[in-house]
């Protein structure tokens, strides 16, 4: 996933950068941005749009009139994993202390951002907004979505010998001091698999991880990005990493000397 360079913006000198990867999110992006600006009044927002054909990029440019919002346009649908890798490097290069990863479709409640950031400021290198912990909830998911998520999480925990309860959650806060230790070029997955791979790699490195209960709300606008291909990629990746863990060299995304 290497090769993408973030823009040469001035260093941020600490603080929080919220990453909002977008693809066809024109109906929900303005509300998400407004909510982030309200609930994290000192944070900056970086929208990463993958050439959305529905005009999300134009809306993002309009939102970037706000001094705390910026936009990076990519030529096409390059995938969630590469968007986050690019955003992580931007956060590191600009000097932010923490980076937030979240969806732009309203599934992740912006009102829960302060609690996740507070957990990071309390010492967690990775904070996961978790659905499958006491206090976590899911709203408006059909039974089969719940089954896929619960089963996938259980398989990942067993295969990877992980203690985390919600490896696939995309609502996160990461301390950039831990991101610097990741070899992001070695991360080879997208979508839900990317979330699993990064969380598991950090767990293996000894990163302090906190899971904070959240309420996940099924999107009411647009179409879900989850497809059978994404589910298969996640399962294939988990089984491959589990095999390496038991019979090979384990995860390759930790820099030399970083593994616990």
- Average pLDDT of the chain, as a whole number: 85
Asked whether 217 and 129 are in contact (CB, 8 A), the reply is: no
pLDDT tens sequence across 9-49: 554 558 999 999 999 999 999 999 999 999 999 999 999 99
pLDDT on residue 131: 94
For the segment 58-79, the average pLDDT, to the nearest whole number, is: 95
How many Å apart are CA 232 and CA 227, to the nearest integer?
A: 9
Give phi and psi for 233, each to the nearest 5: -60, -45
3 dihedral zone (left: phi>0; alpha: psi -120 to 50; beta)? left
pLDDT tens sequence across 189-240: 766 688 888 999 999 999 999 999 999 998 665 555 555 565 556 666 666 6
């Amino acid at each position: 996933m290497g090769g993408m360079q973030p823009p040469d913006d001035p260093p941020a000198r600490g603080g929080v950068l919220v990453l909002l990867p977008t693809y066809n999110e024109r109906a929900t992006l303005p509300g998400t941005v407004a909510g982030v600006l309200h609930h994290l009044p000192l944070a900056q927002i970086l929208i990463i749009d993958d050439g959305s054909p529905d005009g999300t990029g134009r809306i993002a440019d309009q939102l970037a009139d706000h001094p705390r919002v910026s936009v990076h346009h990519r030529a096409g649908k390059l995938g969630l994993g590469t968007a986050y890798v690019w955003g992580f490097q931007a956060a590191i290069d600009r000097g932010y202390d923490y980076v937030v990863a979240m969806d732009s479709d309203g599934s992740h409640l912006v009102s829960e951002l302060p609690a996740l950031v507070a957990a990071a400021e309390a010492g967690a290198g990775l904070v996961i907004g978790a659905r499958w912990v006491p206090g976590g909830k899911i709203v408006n998911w059909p039974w089969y979505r719940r089954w896929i998520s619960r089963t996938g999480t259980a398989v990942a925990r067993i295969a990877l010998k992980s203690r985390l309860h919600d490896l696939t959650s995309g609502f996160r806060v990461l301390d950039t001091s831990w991101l610097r230790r990741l070899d992001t070029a070695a991360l080879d997955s997208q979508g839900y698999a990317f979330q699993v791979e990064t969380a598991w790699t950090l767990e293996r490195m000894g990163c302090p991880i906190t899971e904070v209960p959240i309420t996940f709300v099924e999107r009411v606008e647009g179409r879900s990005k989850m497809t059978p291909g994404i589910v298969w990629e996640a399962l294939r990746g988990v089984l491959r990493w589990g095999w390496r863990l038991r019979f090979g060299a384990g995860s390759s995304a930790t820099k030399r000397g970083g593994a616990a």
